Structure 1
Amino acid sequence: MKKKVRVAIIGAGAIAEGVHIPNYLKCEEKVELVAVCDVIEEKAKALAQKVNIPYAFSSYEEMFKSVEIDAVSICTPNKFHYPATIAALNAGCHVLCEKPPAMTVEEATEMAETAEKVGKILTYGFHFRHAPEVEALKRFTEQGELGEIYAARVTAMRRRGIPGWGVFTNKELQGGGPLIDIGVHMLDTALYLMDYPEPDTVFGVTYQKLGKRKGVGLMGEWDWENFSIEDMARGMITFKNGASILLDTAFAANVEKHDDMNVSLMGDKGGADVFPLKIYQEKHDLLVNTTPSHLPHKGNHELEIERFVEACLTGGPTISNGVEGVYLQQIINGLYESAEKGEAIKLQRAIQV
């Protein structure tokens, strides 16, 4: 019988309980959940007891000393991704870290370099990569059906979708607002479909117009009196290969749709919108639109966990990696820096590919 992957969870919040643990349990023939860690020990113990995990800790350093662990899911607030990842990698564990990679480019770079040094997997929770629309379009792009993808538009907009739970409105713990939380998902999806070109220059603006006053909350009542993030961000990214991306993302904006998550690609042989999937081409002297009549579907998070487990068992590649995490972190931090300074930011190469 093949050895099971012994998995620990760092961070006992909603993403751990609602996403990671249920999907590891679906892999029960390949996974043994052995420990939960949270700085609030009572939370760790309560979650461990609820899902029948044998060990609970308030310190991951103590956890790594006490329990044999092969792989870790890091489900903490963004500020703690970096130290937990470094500790897990140095303890000999593979790591699935929730998005975004870190708070700074330097942190993301050290995470990627440490994973390479110790020979362990480092992958990130970009679950939209596992969506059936993205997987289908990736096959089209790999076959050259869109040609050279030279432009993209990224949208991650909510009308009144400021989270009313957790620490999403706390800049110190999260690093920012919609750009680093939901915008990062669609930005990563676009970059993935464009084969992750190296970024060159970014220009960004951020706004704080709606979040600091009480209003209608479609995702619960947020702490508007202590709202320290942007409620909207816009940006343009150019890449060393000449491509560009326009980005719009918001937790709260006066737009029609309550929730709009999409990526549009434009290539010299075709274009596409991802959600829902539509492909636009010129063929046989006609402008042709293609839509799939059926897409096989398994939950994005389920596939993410399933593929991470399989990579841990086989040593095979993961769908995202540390170098891509560095590029993404460069863009996010560059857009915030640009918004603060009011000028475009030229990005420097942060890591050797």
Structure 2
Amino acid sequence: MPNKISPEIDFPNGGAAMSARRRRVKKIRVGIIGAGGIAAGKHLPGHRSVKGVEVIAVCDIVEEKAKAFARKHDIPYYFKDYMDLISMDELDAVSVCTPNNFHAAPTIAALEAGKHVLCEKPMAGNARDAQAMLEAAQRTGKILQIGLQSRFNKRMMTLRKLYQEGFFGEAYYGRAIALRRRGIPASPTFITKKMAGGGPLIDIGVHVLDVLLWILGYPRPVRAFGSIATKFGNRADVINPWGKWDPKQFDVEDFAMGVIKFENGLTITLETAWASHVEGTGTTFFMGDKAGATFSPFRVYTDKGGEMISFEPEIPKEIQKAPGEFEAFHKAIREGLPSPVPPEEVIWTSKIFDAIYKSARTGTSVAVK
């Protein structure tokens, strides 16, 4: 039986009354798996920002944490076991906000229980788990959207549209960069391999790599070479505005880089760090044979009328009106649309990361497959 916070909110057993009510008000009801910071800071307000969406349940393996989350945020039901949450007939969808290595099991279970899933990034802690999630989505026909919000940035959408229209010509090189001078997450859910699967490569590198590949049409990667290092996380003397952590627990990298080759001739370098002794190292960019672009500043560069020019692209009206991450998820549920961030694409980031980690161990380039 579910633990109930708000006695005035009731969902009748059997589902008949609930079904009638749902048809009348067209509500989408959501449960959240994992009651941590990403759930409170992103997923809960994200779902609640969409008209006609209610968050009615939360679970966490620490039951008191789930209970406190439910009380604080006026959520009627809380659970310790995610299987109890996804067994609720009232639920239409779930957010998976667990540590990276624990994305696959609740995602697959929720999909097989007939729920749509918005899973926080990265897709999983490794490509094997990501593949199982993809297969579950394909098998069940339910939406699996990965939480990569950069795709919903209006500027990134504009660059993608320009690329699709041929403005940049053939892209041949790009640099995806996510380097912090200092920003080491203090939680064990980020700094231990058994929970996170990796460090900044899959934590923040996934954002810049995914959005760059998305802009460029997600070409197929073929090989990757990489290097990783741990230079700060295993030390007790490091200044870190993000708080203290246990250096003895820290067993992931705090720096990673990779070089990725693609079938179409494109090369991308990827640089990520939670901590470093540099600032102002530049921005993500890509080069085409007709034009190129930088993310920050948001500019494109090309030749026109015998001169080299650069300018900030105008964001088209249709993109200005485009839905955000959570609105797009619920629109897809209501209208039977494909996943706004399809796992068929995002799984390639997991495969690339696996190849970079293997390359770092072996010192050789590794096939991405």
Query: What TM-score bracket applies, with the shorter chain setting the length?
Result: over 0.9
Deviation at 1:313, TM superposition (A): 0.9
| Contact 1:156-1:261 at 8 Å conserved across structures | no
| Contact 1:41-1:58 at 8 Å conserved across structures | yes
User: 2: CA distance between counterparts of 1:261 and 1:326?
Assistant: 27
In the TM superposition, 1:266-277 aligns within 5 A as: 266-277=287-298
Match of 1:64 among 80, 86, 89: 86
User: 2: CA distance between counterparts of 1:168 and 1:261?
Assistant: 25
| Contact 2:86-2:115 at 8 Å conserved across structures | no
Deviation at 1:142, TM superposition (A): 1.5
| Contact 1:137-1:274 at 8 Å conserved across structures | no
| Contact 1:204-1:335 at 8 Å conserved across structures | yes
Large movers: runs of 4+ above 4 Å:
292-298
Moved more, 31-40 or 61-70: 61-70
2:361 is equivalent to residue 323 of structure 1:
no
User: 1: CA distance between counterparts of 2:88 and 2:340?
Assistant: 31
Structure 2 residue matching 1:219: 3-state secondary structure:
coil
* Cα distance, 1:289–1:261 mapped onto 2, change above 3 Å: closer
2:201 is equivalent to residue 179 of structure 1:
yes
| Contact 1:158-1:251 at 8 Å conserved across structures | yes
AA aligned to 1:288 is I
Q: Number of paired residues?
A: 343
User: 2: CA distance between counterparts of 1:2 and 1:335?
Assistant: 48
User: 2: CA distance between counterparts of 1:91 and 1:290?
Assistant: 49
> In the alignment, which residue of structure 2 is the partner of 1:278?
299
**1:180-228: CA deviations, max 9, x gaps?**
1001110111111111111100000001112211211022223223211
Moved more, 198-207 or 130-139: 130-139
Deviation at 1:295, TM superposition (A): 9.0
* Cα distance, 1:293–1:3 mapped onto 2, change above 3 Å: closer
Please, what is the CA RMSD of the aligned residues?
2.0
User: 1: CA distance between counterparts of 2:232 and 2:358?
Assistant: 22
2:47 is equivalent to residue 24 of structure 1:
yes
TM-score (norm 1): 0.92
- Between 1 and 2, higher relative CO (CA 8 Å, sep ≥ 6) is seen in 1
Moved more, 262-271 or 287-296: 287-296
> In the alignment, which residue of structure 1 is the partner of 2:356?
335
* Cα distance, 1:66–1:309 mapped onto 2, change above 3 Å: closer
2:44 is equivalent to residue 44 of structure 1:
no
Deviation at 1:247, TM superposition (A): 1.0
2:184 is equivalent to residue 159 of structure 1:
no
Structure 2 residue matching 1:225: 3-state secondary structure:
coil
> In the alignment, which residue of structure 2 is the partner of 1:314?
335
User: 2: CA distance between counterparts of 1:86 and 1:212?
Assistant: 34
Bigger Cα Rg: 2
Structure 2 residue matching 1:306: 3-state secondary structure:
helix
| Contact 2:227-2:359 at 8 Å conserved across structures | yes
AA aligned to 2:327 is E
| Contact 1:201-1:237 at 8 Å conserved across structures | yes
TM-score (norm 2): 0.89
2:146 is equivalent to residue 130 of structure 1:
no
> In the alignment, which residue of structure 1 is the partner of 2:137?
115
> In the alignment, which residue of structure 1 is the partner of 2:366?
345
User: 1: CA distance between counterparts of 2:330 and 2:266?
Assistant: 34
User: 2: CA distance between counterparts of 1:261 and 1:324?
Assistant: 27
2:213 is equivalent to residue 197 of structure 1:
no
2:37 is equivalent to residue 4 of structure 1:
no
For structure 1, which runs of at least 5 residues remain unmatched after alignment?
349-353
> In the alignment, which residue of structure 1 is the partner of 2:276?
253
Structure 1 residue matching 2:98: 3-state secondary structure:
coil
* Cα distance, 1:26–1:211 mapped onto 2, change above 3 Å: same
Moved more, 289-298 or 303-312: 289-298
AA aligned to 1:48 is A
> In the alignment, which residue of structure 2 is the partner of 1:351?
none
AA aligned to 1:113 is E
User: 2: CA distance between counterparts of 1:50 and 1:181?
Assistant: 28
Moved more, 159-168 or 195-204: 159-168
User: 1: CA distance between counterparts of 2:89 and 2:70?
Assistant: 14
2:250 is equivalent to residue 227 of structure 1:
yes
| Contact 1:133-1:295 at 8 Å conserved across structures | no
AA aligned to 1:236 is V
**1:135-175: CA deviations, max 9, x gaps?**
12112112111011121101100011111235211111001
2:164 is equivalent to residue 142 of structure 1:
yes
| Contact 1:133-1:275 at 8 Å conserved across structures | no
* Cα distance, 1:42–1:261 mapped onto 2, change above 3 Å: farther
User: 1: CA distance between counterparts of 2:25 and 2:302?
Assistant: 47
Q: Quick one: percent identity of the two aligned structures?
A: 43
